[in-house]
Structure 1
Amino acid sequence: MSSTVIIIAIVSLILLLLFSTALTKPLRWAGKLCIKAIIGAVLLFFLNQLGGRYGLHIPINLATVSVSGILGVPGIIGLAVIQTWILP
């Protein structure tokens, strides 16, 4: 093997490693965001089941799932406050 083939192989492996890590970070971020959105939807579902007895219903759509998924319990409390007092 000539030295140019070895150098090309090493450079291509380094570039492959750089591009593979550059592509996995956004995928990991999107995966975490999807899992948080699913957890937010489940929390909203349980809130609607418990709050239905007291007249509290928060619709499950993309906006409310995003707020509850990203902000967590404070986001759900904020949605409940908005639904109860601001939007009667």
Structure 2
Amino acid sequence: MEPIVVISILGGLIVLVLIVGAPLKPIRLVGQLFVKVMIGALLLFFLNAFGTTIDLHVPINFVTATISGLLGLPGIAALVIIDMFIL
């Protein structure tokens, strides 16, 4: 797709949401989930950056970022245990 088409579609969707209105609660929940997944990916990045000294590498993908983002430190600990003992 051409970039101008994508920008036009996104602009049209924004105008449509502004005119019609959108339920705020589902949008807020999706936004919070997105932020938590990004934080989980960032935590996994730092785990991989500092874990290289002890041969620790947990792949960063949507599933592992979601687990670490939603569960926090216990989720990261679970991913490390799975990586060390099961894989």
Partner of 1:64: 64
Identity value in percent: 50
Confirm or deny that 1:28 pairs with 2:28. yes
Q: Displaced runs of 4+ in structure 1, greater than 4 A?
A: none
Number of residue equivalences: 68
Deviation of the 1:85 alpha carbon: 0.7
Amino acid at match of 2:27: L
Q: How far did 1:53 drift?
A: 1.1
Question: Matched residues in 1 for 2:62 and 2:43: separation?
Answer: 14
Match in the other structure for 1:44: 44
1:23 to partner: Cα distance: 1.1
TM-score of the aligned structures, taking structure 2 as reference length: 0.74
Aligned-residue offset at 1:67: 0.3
**CA displacement 1:5-40 (0-9 Å, x = unmatched):** xxxxxxxxxxxxxx95x7110000000001101110
Structure 2, gaps ≥5 residues long:
1-19
- How far is 1:77 from its partner? 0.4
